[in-house]
Structure 1
């Protein structure tokens, strides 16, 4: 166990922190928007942080040891990062994912030596992952339950701590808003709790795609809410996950799927870095918040996340024919976002 924890700590030392990029907004707005580029992690996504925390949680809890088969239920990116860490530690890894998961993510998991088991829907991943772990005498990482407890939200170089440290020299160092998506809910829980713990006035907004249960759960306070599930990979869930903590979140905004994909393209155009669609969801919410601040005559800063790289979605969200086949309309949203950023709307 000691050697495995040392390996994970060494990986952190080898990897520099991710960059905080300025996103260009009209100067007249008086708002600064920053995008934290989590795609620069070794495994290419925000989930690199979570995967490492989940492995440490299992190791120090005495659940992972030499030869343990490690299993996860995932929409893809978490499993990619977990496959990387399983390979680093010499452990067998199995990812259970919905059949709709992008082919590129499956290839990445298999490239790290993992095995992929595909099920028909996002709602079916939990029971299958638990069954496989039990049959193998292994360990179910269970990101949806453990994300909010495995991550040290008080600091220890978590994503919230990193954001506030990187913002220290900016003209509005304490963000008015931090905008994230929610898949497990762990990132929003970490940032919101840290912001309170550090005695800041920063508020946290969650962008929630169509078909997710999180927005209604936040509005009603009910944890038994269910929904059809999200078409935006990585965020939104058909049920309210244990790591989603609505009481610490200040706003949850439902975002149209077409707007999320349009936002993805706008980030690629304006930053020169092509992200996945969950980043587009984040951008839409961040721009809405900026517009509300401008209308109130406020200045300040907003921070959001570039969650993962668009190369994982070249055959899906970046493929116009695929998007059309899903019945998703993007063009009007894309025109509206461009017009707003160009000062025409």
Structure 2
């Protein structure tokens, strides 16, 4: 890990200027919108989606990348000539490339060789370079080794995400959600629903709610192939699934260091077909395309709202639009791609239609009934 020469005033001045540039990016960007998702008023339950796709790099990961750069700069890990390396083929790499270019730094994203040309193009558009690795399970090790070879800094989002963000406030995503709900009829949400990739967002929200003594509970939704759900279910944090997630941005083959299970009140495993069905159904209601992880969030939120209705409880539920659907035209929104993956969206779409029409939730306990062969339990 790089440590700058503390006796070099020029480097110290550069770091000071770099921090000012990153902070200015946040200052000139308006906060992301909190959008209401229309539900029958008679239910007495409100659903909101915080639109993280409106960040300059188009996703929730913009917040993470900003925090990671500030954390590395303030720790003395990045200087004016430091190459920055990350293990990511998705939105984190796009956002980190954006900040690296802002600071005039070389950025290299290490990713599986199977990564789509569309994702590579997004990273390169922001000025980043892509280093391809044949073995997907070796990406983190390859990124760490590359950073060492270059004399650079391995950003390591999966370790540093939960500590790079000030969970007590400082305009983090949790503080923003509560501030935006202040004038709503249910200003303290019953549930906040998020997925976990690094685990940083769930850690920030869970810690903040406890710090402020809010009654809000945190639900983490998890896609197929991810280790977070089975590890949480069995309280075995050494579980490995040996595979990645088809839902970009969330799910990991192992429990990452940033994931903080003690601040999570509930986890819901979501079949991939359910994620894509909720993505498409939600896009139709919102009048705009959202990404697959937003669909995972919506599936979990719908199930929790139906549960609240059944129990006669009123309140609000908040989840996230993690990114826009324009990145997934040839995958999640392609019927041919969905069929190639061996999925059918018919059954989960019928469940969602039943929920939106009458608040009932008839999700079966087996993911196989939803076009998935590997999911354990569905959301109830």
Cα distance between partner residues in 2 of 1:300 and 1:121? 46
1:32 alignment partner, SS class? strand
Do 1:96 and 1:116's aligned partners in 2 also have CA atoms closer than 8 Å?
yes
Unaligned stretches of 5+ residues in structure 1 = none
Q: Distance in 1 between matches of 2:83 and 2:217?
A: 39
Q: Match of 2:206?
A: 192
Change (3 A) 1:112 1:124: same
Aligned counterpart, 1:74:
88
Aligned residues: 345
**Structure 1 residue 121: Cα displacement:** 5.2
What is the correspondence of 1:99-110 to structure 2 with a 5 Å cutoff?
A: 99-110=113-124
- Asked if structure 2 preserves the Cα contact closer than 8 Å seen for 1:258 and 1:329, the reply is yes
Q: In 2, distance between residues paired with 1:344 and 1:139?
A: 50
**Counterpart contact for 2:309–2:359, Cα < 8 Å:** no
Distance 1:100 1:268, change over 3 A: farther
1:154 shift after superposition:
0.6
CA drift of 1:344 comes to: 7.8
Q: How far apart are 1:77 and its partner, in Å?
A: 0.3
Q: Is it true that 1:266 corresponds to 2:281 in the alignment?
A: yes
Other-structure match for 2:221: 207
Alignment of 1:118-129 (within 5 A): 118-120=132-134, 122-129=136-143
Instruction: Could you tell me which runs of 5 or more consecutive residues in structure 2 were left unpaired when the two chains were aligned.
Output: 1-14, 361-380
Match of 2:323 among 308, 329, 334: 308
1:210-225 map, 5 Å: 210-225=224-239
Residues 89, 109 of structure 2: 8 Å contact kept: no
Which SS does the other structure have where 1:33 is aligned?
strand
What is residue 29 of structure 1 aligned with on the other side? 43
Matched, 1:146 2:149: no
Q: Secondary structure at the match of 2:149?
A: helix
Distance in 1 (CA, whole Å) between partners of 2:351 and 2:25 is 42
Q: For the Cα contact (< 8 Å) 2:306–2:359, is it kept in 1?
A: no
- In 2, the alpha carbon distance for the partners of 1:51 and 1:180 equals 18
- In 1, the alpha carbon distance for the partners of 2:188 and 2:118 equals 37
Asked if 1:298 corresponds to 2:313, the answer is: yes
Match of 2:258 in 1: 243
CA distance in 1, matches of 2:213, 2:227: 30
CA distance in 1, matches of 2:359, 2:168: 42
Task: Quote how far apart the aligned CAs of 1:330 are.
Answer: 1.3
Give deviations 1:64-110, integer Å, cap 9, x for gaps: 00011000011410000000000000000001123444432221110
| Cα RMSD for the two superposed structures | 1.2
* 1:47 equivalent in structure 2: 61
Who is 1:287 aligned against?
302
Aligned CA distance change for structure 1 residues 283 and 169 (closer, same or farther; 3 Å): same
Hey, what's the Cα distance between the residues in 1 that align with 2:49 and 2:334? 24
Deviations 1:85-142 (CA, angstroms, capped at 9, x unpaired)? 0000000000112344443222111011111123345422110110110110000000
Q: Report the Cα distance in structure 1 between the residues aligned to 2:106 and 2:227, rounded to whole angstroms.
A: 33
* 3-state SS, counterpart of residue 130 of structure 2: strand
Work out whether residues 22 and 35 of structure 1, in 8 Å CA contact, stay in contact via their aligned partners in 2: yes
Alignment match, 1:87: 101
State the 4+ residue runs in structure 1 displaced beyond 6 angstroms. none
Q: Secondary structure at the match of 1:190?
A: helix
TM-score (norm 2): 0.89
Assess, with a 3 A threshold, how the Cα gap between structure 1 residues 164 and 84 changes in structure 2: closer, same or farther. Answer: same
